[in-house]
Amino acid sequence: MCAALGDETRLSLVATLSGGERRSIAELTATARVTRQAISKHLRVLESVGLVRGARAGRERLFELDPAPMRELGDYLGRVSAQWDQALSRLKALVED
Amino acid sequence: MCAALGDETRLSLVATLSGGERRSIAELTATARVTRQAISKHLRVLESVGLVRGARAGRERLFELDPAPMRELGDYLGRVSAQWDQALSRLKALVED
DNA sequence: GTAATATGCAACCTGGAGGTTGCAACTATG
DNA sequence: CATAGTTGCAACCTCCAGGTTGCATATTAC
């Protein structure tokens, strides 16, 4: 269930899109080492998770990064690290005392 | 390459072991929904990554959590979240301005 | 010694993620 | 309209993590 960014190809897609400009599937394929179909699949996954938005524009389909979930991810990491701090101090207390 | 805690079984193993007491494979299997062999494999993986330590004790093999990598993980999360803060402000600047 | 317990080892099965290929459909351009 | 470019759809392939089963090995209990 590596649902999102565990994959290298997918991560590089997000990295490319984090440039801020909207890219077509063909463009995104150009800089990748896999088939257009593979890219297309990944984009669909990323879109279904909400990390990315795609919209038709003429005969091509332009994708852009959706910053909202990124911000959520930031908050999440913040909360998680806070929990970790607590968990770690508990663990330390348990082990080092 | 879901190397460590992405898996449910493995995560629950760590959770159980975070109780602090050393557990045999049989004990760990008792509370799990999979075979002893599966548990054994998971423990070997966790051991190879350094999250867990196992040592023979008579005819059984007792496993305990190794807190050190957990602490490292905490530090790591801290650093990552810091990087995220920076990345997010850059992203925000890019999008919201 | 013998039986029961706890583990190790090895072969095998399975589902799904990541890729590819081939073809059909739509759009722009001349 | 014909043609080239961009995408969608579907079938197929391969690899491997997670599991299972069966048997061998060690250790304790009797």
Which architecture, in CATH terms, is B7-65? Orthogonal Bundle (1.10)
Q: Which residues of chain B have pLDDT under 70?
A: 1-4, 69-97
* Closest residue, chain B, to A80 (C-alpha): B77
**Residue A94 confidence (pLDDT) above 70:** no
Measure CB to CB from residue A77 to each of B74, B81, B95 and give the nearest one.
B81
Distance CA(B61)–CA(B49), nearest Å, equals: 18
Contacts of A95 in chain B (CB under 8 A): 20, 67
Q: Is the CB of B3 under 7 A from strand D?
A: no
More confident residue, A69 or A44: A44
Q: What is the pLDDT of residue B86?
A: 58
Query: Strand order in B60-65's β-sheet?
Result: B23-24, B60-65, B52-57
CB pair distance less than 8 Å for B71 and A84: no
More confident residue, A6 or A8: A8
For the segment A63-90, the average pLDDT, to the nearest whole number, is 63
Return the bridge partners of B65, or none: B52
